[in-house]
Structure 1
Amino acid sequence: MLKVDNVTKVYKVGTFGGRTMTAVDTVSFDVRPGEVVSLIGESGSGKSTIGKMILGLTPVTSGSITVDGVPIQPGKDYYRTVQGVFQDPFSCYNPVFKADRVFALIKESYYPSVPDAEWTERVRSAIQDVRLNPDEVLGKFPHQLSGGQLQRLLIARALLLDLKLLIADEITSMLDASTRIDVLNLLAELKARGLGVLYVTHDLSLGHYLAERTVVLRRGTIVEMGLTSKVFDDPLHPYTRQLLSAVPRLHAPWDDIEPPATCLYHERGGVGGLLEADPGHYVACAQLSDC
């Protein structure tokens, strides 16, 4: 479904844009129907930039992004099948309007001919699908609802479209623990319906909980990628091992990660891009540009 192929994003920076900064460097991965892929990395690694390029919010410098083999073309037809939900749900609502205005905008743009009574029933059904009571959330202003409720309303809005792909960018980072699990379980239910999800996060534990495959990003470059079980149980790149060592564990010491004596990538003859160290498990040079 989604294919990101050798995508690079370069920004002009400095006075009068005299210098450039590469935020994303030749990144390639895909997301299949009914699959959650976690895009994991620390702040500034390029995760959100990739999400914005997929959503057409910022242009690609080079490479290509396609959905069902068709290059992305941001516009009404594209956003009917591809939607994003972001970190701060409050920023997605106009505080002077009631929260259910997001549903009215969907009707105006995509379903103007649907009778009001039928649309109301569709909205109520979508809200119930995200485990909210329509009578408790409709007609409320954003400040009268919790972050978790607002986040789930945004997902309900997406469900009203012919959605194929959801870009979930740090959607649980501002939520409390119990609400966070509710939202993750909701994403798992959507996955079971055939929806593809790119789950952008810096939280490895949540990515491990939800995703079939994991992509680890560092400084805009993929350093490890594969089945989540392989990436987490047998991390090959020292950066991945460093991230995993930073996850708090009860009754276990934190480990210091030392760079490997040899680079697995070059030890096994890797040349350019990623090396398939094991079936479906890819790793980059351990030293990046220094190796």
Structure 2
Amino acid sequence: MSWITEYVRPKIRGLLRRDVPDNLWTNCDSCSQMILTKELHRAMNVCPHCGHHMKASVPDRLAWTFDNGECTRIELPPAPVDPLGFRDQKKYTDRLKDARAKSHLDESLIVAHGTIGGHPSVVGVMAFEFMAGTMGAAFGERFVAAARLAVLQKSPLVIFTASGGARMQEGAISLMQMPRTTIGVQMLKEAGLPYIVVLTNPTTGGVTASFAMLGDVQIAEPNALIGFAGPRVIEDTVREKLPEGFQRSEYLLDHGMLDMVVKRKDMRETLARVIGLLMRTPVTPEGGKLEATPAATMPDAAPAAPAA
């Protein structure tokens, strides 16, 4: 080999090589366009080319939801780690350790409180990055704790859903969380407090079959997959071609399953407006609260009946 091959060529390659971070670019899940990761984060993980709403991490979701991104996470009650001693290809305990290491979270539901448009609020965010946001015994404990905190603070509870359903490693125990979370919703209703659900992509399985569809107001992000079973499973079962956009946010809105579909950039403002209406404490354009308006003097209140 000549000195050009052994010496000159490596030198030239070394001069031309630049250290490029692995996460500099991100591929859009929908249109496959390459997007600068920094630009994507500034756009709240919404593709600037096609408007597709990508998955969001728990810290990002909390930062986008609360005023100035400021909130306080609450300490949540512990739950049995491996109630069934389950094992498939790996031990369930090992899967939990891996999920915690990769996501930097301890479970699939994180709860925090702060203000949204000046309104004190309790927010629960499901972490799809933690075992696909599945629902187990720990999840049920956390959901009820969030409901109790909302009742204690006399605040609304907002839940962002993103889940593959019940956690198979906990068997029937995971299914028991469906009525358990329903009890948490009932606690809010008995206290006269708003329960708002924001459905994100995807929301499926036992989550959809329980607390995710019990909100006083049902909001969804655009084009989110929402359903119990997946479209392919349903198509194979009924042996019919499903309608275009079946189980997507816009389809469910057209068929009365949702109250509104809201873009991510408008979510905080929408939540603030909805909470203000339900709590009867609207917010001024400057962000300050107005006094609550008695129902009898509200513009849409029915006139008093004439005296007999």
TM-score where L is the length of structure 2 = 0.33
Please say which structure displays the higher CA radius of gyration: 2
Relative contact order higher in (CA < 8 Å, ≥ 6 apart): 1
* Structure richer in strand, relative to its length: 1
